[in-house]
Amino acid sequence: MIALGLEGSANKLGVGVILHPPKGGPAQILANVRHTFISPPGEGFLPKDTAKHHRAWVVRLVRHALTEAGVTVDDVDCLCYTKGPGMGAPLQSVAVSARMLSLLWDKELVGVNHCVGHIEMGREITGAQNPVVLYVSGGNTQVIAYACQRYRIFGEALDIAVGNCLDRFARTLNISNDPAPGYNIEQLAKGGKHLLDLPYTVKGMDCSFSGILASIDVLAARLQQDPTGWKDEVTGQVMTRKDLCFSLQETVFAMLVEITERAMAHVGSSQVLIVGGVGCNERLQEMMGMMAKARGGSVYATDERFCIDNGIMIAHAGLLAYRTGLTTPLEHSTCTQRFRTDEVVVKWRA
């Protein structure tokens, strides 16, 4: 079976084509193309501008994906699209595009939960069997484990997502959004040497990032008044932009490692799977690896092709659902900004 997937819940528009062999075996990625709406430094991306970008690029990307995959419309069994969660206007643009292609090509639709798409693609690529999942992105921060045909959320951000925290701090420092603000913070953090004392808020398996963002924004304002750097009152060290990025990254990642370890102990798992855009961060992977190694476990992660929002993950999760008989009637092919991971019945897993 072959599925075409459309993803556009935020500023990335992705189209993927995937093949599930009839006799089982690993899924075959036939095409995975993507185009990103990049806003100017110091600015975020507005829903209306992002939706306009998606509408302008979707037809080109679909054509590109089919050509790269070497398949025709007749070869495609179903069309999968991101139903939610995400930003309203971009989601709506993708849902309308999916409905248009469904009517044009006479193909069944499958609405996919964005978070489940990340998890299933991560499991497929890494081979992780039944891991604790850390899902970290610009819109979501969740610690998840599978039980009884649901991806159960054991912990999550109580306010803003970790990726949103990093992105907003990048805007504070006027860091470029190309290729991504979080990536550019990661590169700056590699040059940081001094760790600042920042708020650390963990409550059981939940965490909070708004306080640490407010605190480091104050420090950034001090730095902007004196670009050469200012001295930390505790250590006497001169602080720079790199030190701020380093301190923020180390602190929020330590929080994520803590809640993930607590979830591993709770469910008795030795595997961690990191998914979502922030999961590309090599320092997060390194810190998680140190924790897992100390517990005799292992960490699974993917590169930017699959961590960052993409169409192939939607195609894969949608095709898994389609093979169980699940489809989305045209009249129900809506989208929603709020669609929790644990709302989905995962019929394709025992």
Q: Tell me: the pLDDT tens digits for 187-218? A: 999 999 999 999 999 999 999 999 999 999 99
Beta strand extents in the chain (DSSP E only): 2-7, 12-19, 28-36, 78-84, 108-113, 132-136, 141-147, 150-156, 202-203, 206-207, 230-231, 238-239, 271-275, 298-301
Tens-digit pLDDT profile for residues 282-315: 999 999 999 999 999 999 999 999 999 999 999 9
How confident is residue 230, by pLDDT bands cut at 50, 70 and 90? confident
**Does residue 227 carry a pLDDT above 80?**
no
Q: Which residue has the tokens 């110091």?
A: 42
Kindly state the tokens that stand for 11. 């500023």
Question: Residue 42 carries which DSSP code?
Answer: T
Peptide bond into 21 cis (omega under 30): no
The answer to whether the CB of 128 falls within 8 A of the CB of 122 is yes
Mean pLDDT for the stretch of residues 105-126: 98
Could you tell me whether strands 150-156 and 141-147 are parallel, antiparallel, or unpaired per DSSP bridges?
Answer: antiparallel
The 2-7 sheet, strands edge to edge: 28-36, 12-19, 2-7, 78-84, 108-113
Could you tell me whether strands 271-275 and 238-239 are parallel, antiparallel, or unpaired per DSSP bridges?
Answer: unpaired
The C-alpha atoms of residue 232 and residue 229 are separated, in whole angstroms, by 10
Tens-digit pLDDT profile for residues 13-24: 999 999 999 988
The pLDDT assigned to 228 comes to 74
How confident is residue 236, by pLDDT bands cut at 50, 70 and 90? confident
